[in-house]
Copies of this chain bind each other. A is one copy, B any other.
């Protein structure tokens, strides 16, 4: 590393601290950037600066947005009577990539986690209640992860919302598609059996 100029060492150190990158891959990327035309390299650096300065959270659903509202909340073709409640913005992306869902989202910004001092008041639950109070919501799909914290958060939301005349659903849990029963852990198996459905 000492054989590199200090400006290169700095880039390698900073790139190497990004998730999934170590010193070797950071060095390879730095060498690549040095060889690339200045215009392309500045475009990358400036795109990062622009993203950091412009990205905000959607005022409605707390997903990432460039404007007040995210692309999904701005889209008139999305059903506004369905809200899928997720933990994080990457959950939104995962569900969007499946292409299966046409409603809106609400990003909690985490899960209830007493060990890390995260109570319900730290999550975007108040704004969810306000969205519901404005009316027009017919179904809330609680899509927190099937972990103990995710389940606790789902249960908390269920208790909070159950008397509001809205259909409350929870995403299915069980053996993943393409999975194998003999390799499933006991908890997944238990949940898969509990959430069994009648053949149709």
* Chain A residues with a Cβ under 8 A of chain B: 1-8, 10-11, 14-15, 18-21, 25, 27-34, 38, 41-55, 63-66, 70-72, 89-90, 92-93, 96
Query: Hey, which chain B residues are within 8 Å of A31, CB to CB?
Result: 89-90
A105 to B38, CA, bound (A): 26
CB pair A48–B45 under 8 Å, yes or no, is: yes
CB pair B47–A52 under 8 Å, yes or no, is: no
A72 to B10, CA, bound (A): 18
CB pair A11–B51 under 8 Å, yes or no, is: yes
CB pair A71–B28 under 8 Å, yes or no, is: no
* Number of copies of this kind of chain in the complex: 2
List the B residue with the shortest CB-CB distance to A36: B52
Query: Hey, which chain B residues are within 8 Å of A89, CB to CB?
Result: 31
Query: Hey, which chain B residues are within 8 Å of A49, CB to CB?
Result: 41-42, 45
The minimal Cβ–Cβ distance linking A123 to chain B, given in whole angstroms, is: 16
Kindly identify which residue among B10, B21, B52 contacts A38, using a CB–CB cutoff of 8 Å.
B52
Query: Hey, which chain B residues are within 8 Å of A50, CB to CB?
Result: 7, 10
The 10 A-B pairs of least Cβ separation, nearest first, read: A5-B66, A3-B96, A45-B45, A7-B51, A45-B48, A14-B44, A41-B52, A10-B47, A11-B51, A45-B49
A5 to B69, CA, bound (A): 10
Kindly identify which residue among B8, B32, B43 contacts A55, using a CB–CB cutoff of 8 Å.
B8
A47 to B50, CA, bound (A): 15
